[in-house]
């Protein structure tokens, strides 16, 4: 979104206050007063007898508007637990005249970026998305020593390390916990719960839109009808190519790798394989293998402090933890070497989960620990050197697919015919062997598709 040309706006010392109880310290209880009253416009700042946080919000769409509604509806609970009173100083929007049916003074809207950035606020919340003007808002707010809260994974994946370094110099703060996982607290788990531990791996379903679409296709829907349903429910944008080709999950994984291992997200080596155009064929073939397709993102710790990162379709067992993750759910598993992984899950698509995650970041005032590795303990990002079993399918005779696989060094251990497609499961093979095989099949117009295979080895099943 690009703000319109500057308009005449009188900047007044006016706040919209979200009513809350008067508390000075966080408590473990919840407020017991009546529900939040109607919002009022004050002619002067609120009383200093309570902790007041001035908030400037950039973007008032599904996510930004959802955050404002949550602040209004949850004000008493927030006060009772955290002792906080939020006031809104400015809202940056594209159209100041649009009726948004929100409980705030319309005089707080501005479409001028400079007016917004000049507002007197303690916290700037960026809910616009994309690279610009989001980057300008973030860098200017942090340069002023302010706290910047964002759910913008594209921005953080590209500029997060530099923004965090800027915050160190200026005394500002950067919080991007809402950028990954929707309502699943992935980033805060990695920051806070794991402490100084280094994960063996972090892997999971990071895109709720694609998981919802996969779940519907598994039940018999076509890809087009599944996408239409997702859009009707607000779970998918009109252009959801980033969800289906893995760019969205890749940006989130880059942020995870930064948080867990200290790798600059802009420098992460990452292999990304799209779900489309072979999504429906992969679903059919996964059923024949008693599995389910899931779009799994993974960063793994390898020997010599190396980190590999991948985003790719993966066929998992139907009753596994990821196989049982359906609909718009996100699920992330952090392997710390314990008896079972540390797991977080929750809805990952739609405005409400993201707005809730922003609110969670907003009520936590302590500086965010964005640092990780030091110069003598740094990790290195590398291409995945591991061999995996793969499912490869193509619109070609089984004999042709078998012959092609062997020619490229991919040893088949199982083959089958599913509808018009042939499939093979390979013995563990490096991606450097699989990739040219796929290119060869594509050149032959065989419409290949590929997925990592993580069910019990077919060679074991056949023995």
**C-alpha to C-alpha distance for 415 and 403, rounded to whole angstroms:** 12
Q: Is 252 tagged catalytic?
A: yes
**C-alpha to C-alpha distance for 213 and 221, rounded to whole angstroms:** 9
Neighbours of 233 (CB within 10 A): 12
**C-alpha to C-alpha distance for 351 and 233, rounded to whole angstroms:** 10
Q: Is the dihedral of CA 175, 66, 247, 302 positive or negative?
A: positive
Neighbours of 225 (CB within 10 A): 13
**C-alpha to C-alpha distance for 101 and 447, rounded to whole angstroms:** 48
With CA atoms as reference, report the closest residue to 297 among 308, 286, 283, 281.
Answer: 308
Q: Please, are residues 381 and 309 in contact by the beta-carbon 8 Å criterion?
A: yes
Which of 23, 146, 147, 252 is the catalytic position? 252
Strand partners, 357: none
Q: Please, are residues 139 and 126 in contact by the beta-carbon 8 Å criterion?
A: no
Residue by residue, what is the 3-state secondary structure of the chain? CCCCCCCCCCCCCCEEECCCCCCCCCCCCCCCCCCCCCCEEECCCCCCCCEEEEEEEECCCHHHHHHHHHHHHCHHHHHHHHCEEEEEEEEECCCCCCCCCCCCCHHHEECCHHHHHCCCCCEEEECCCCCCCHHHHHHHHHHCCCEEEECCHHHHHHHHHHHHHHHHHHCCEEECHHHCCCCCCHHHHHHHHCCCCCCCEEEEECCHHHHHHHHHHHCCCCHHHHHHHHHHCCCCCCCCHHHHCCHHHHHHHHHHHHHHHCCCHHHCCCEECCCCCCHHHHHHHHHHCCEEEEEEEEEEEEHHHEEEEEEEEEEEECCCCCCCCCCCEEEEEEECCCCCCEEEEEECCCHHHHHHHHHHHHHCCCCCCCCCCCHHHCCEECCCCCCECEEEEECCCHHHHHHHHHHCCCCEEEEEEECCEEEEEECCECHHHHHHHHHHHHHCCCCCEEEEECCCCHHHHHC
- Which of the residues are catalytic? 252
């Amino acid at each position: 979104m690009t703000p319109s040309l500057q308009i005449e706006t009188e900047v007044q010392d006016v706040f919209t206050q979200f009513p809350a109880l008067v508390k000075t310290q966080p408590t473990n209880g919840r407020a017991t007063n009546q529900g939040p009253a109607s919002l009022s416009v004050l002619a002067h700042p609120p009383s200093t007898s309570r902790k007041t946080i001035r908030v400037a919000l950039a973007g008032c769409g599904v996510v930004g508007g959802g955050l404002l509604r949550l602040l209004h509806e949850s004000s008493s609970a927030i006060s009772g637990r955290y002792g906080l009173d939020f006031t809104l100083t400015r809202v940056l929007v594209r159209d100041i005249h649009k009726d948004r049916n929100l409980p705030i003074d319309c005089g707080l809207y501005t479409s001028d970026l400079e007016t917004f950035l000049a507002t007197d606020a303690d916290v700037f919340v960026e809910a616009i998305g994309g690279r610009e003007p989001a980057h300008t808002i973030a860098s200017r707010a942090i340069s002023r020593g302010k706290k910047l809260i964002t759910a913008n994974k594209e921005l953080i994946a590209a500029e997060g390390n530099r923004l965090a370094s800027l915050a160190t110099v200026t005394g500002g703060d950067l919080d991007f916990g809402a950028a990954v996982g929707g309502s699943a607290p992935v980033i805060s788990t990695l920051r806070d719960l794991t402490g100084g531990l280094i994960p063996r791996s972090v892997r999971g379903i990071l895109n709720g839109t694609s998981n919802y679409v996969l779940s519907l296709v598994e039940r018999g829907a076509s890809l087009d009808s599944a996408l239409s349903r997702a859009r009707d429910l607000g779970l998918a944008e009109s252009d959801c190519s980033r969800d289906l080709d893995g760019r969205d999950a890749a940006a989130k994984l880059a942020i995870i790798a930064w948080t867990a291992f200290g790798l600059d997200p802009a420098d992460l080596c990452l292999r990304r394989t799209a779900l489309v155009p072979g999504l429906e064929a992969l679903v059919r073939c996964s059923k024949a293998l008693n599995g389910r397709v899931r779009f799994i993102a993974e960063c793994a710790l390898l020997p010599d402090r190396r980190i590999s990162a991948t985003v790719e379709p993966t066929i998992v067992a139907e009753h596994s933890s990821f196989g049982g993750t359906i609909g718009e759910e996100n699920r992330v598993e952090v392997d710390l070497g314990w008896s079972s992984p540390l797991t977080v899950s929750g809805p990952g698509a739609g405005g409400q989960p993201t707005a809730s995650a922003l609110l969670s970041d907003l009520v936590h005032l302590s500086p965010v620990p964005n640092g990780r590795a030091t110069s003598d303990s740094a990790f290195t990002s590398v291409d995945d050197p591991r061999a995996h079993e793969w499912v490869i399918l193509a619109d070609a005779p089984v004999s042709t697919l078998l012959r092609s696989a062997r020619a490229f060094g991919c040893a088949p251990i199982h083959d089958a015919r599913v509808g018009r497609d042939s499939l093979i499961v390979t013995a563990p093979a490096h991606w450097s062997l699989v990739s040219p095989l796929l290119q060869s099949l594509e050149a032959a117009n065989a419409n290949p598709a590929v997925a990592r295979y993580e069910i019990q080895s077919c060679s074991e099943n056949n023995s």
